[in-house]
Structure 1
């Protein structure tokens, strides 16, 4: 994620909170109650996002882990492709023992 993306997300959340506040005021809540409910919705949304992040981190289903696994597989495949048939046969014989 680029820095501009993070700034855009922050501004989007800020604007969404303001729109929820204004929407609640239009529905008929006074300013204080509209502020409390809009903050509560934003906190619940934040907690939901943190929960999904912790789940992805715990299950190692994140971009970094996937990129690292792909790199390791590609590196090992490249090394395997570079082996001569004699080296490959020797390696297979060592594995079988």
Structure 2
């Protein structure tokens, strides 16, 4: 996300809060109650956003993690393309023997 995107989102939330406040005033709330309810909705929205962020963090579903995984996959695919069939067979044998050692431990 670019800096201007973050600024525009913040301004959008700010103006949305004002619109919600005036919406509450227009349906009959006094200024104090409208302020409390609009702030309450803002806090609930913020808590919801933080919860979605934490969910993405704990499930490793962040953009950085995806980029690293894609890079690793592309790197290993390129390395496999460079290897001869004999080298791949030798690598598979080594992998199988290591898996057997791990299972026996």
1:10 to partner: Cα distance: 0.2
Higher relative contact order (CA 8 A, sep 6+): 1
- Which blocks of at least 5 consecutive residues in structure 2 are unaligned? 98-105
Q: Is the aligned partner of 1:42 residue 2:37?
A: no
Partner of 1:53: 53
Aligned Cα root-mean-square deviation (Å) = 1.1
Q: Return the TM-score normalized by structure 1.
A: 0.92
- Which blocks of at least 5 consecutive residues in structure 1 are unaligned? none
Runs (4 or more) in structure 1 with deviation over 6 Å come to none
Q: Is the aligned partner of 1:94 residue 2:89?
A: no
The total of aligned residue pairs comes to 97
Cα separation, 1, equivalents of 2:80 and 2:11: 49
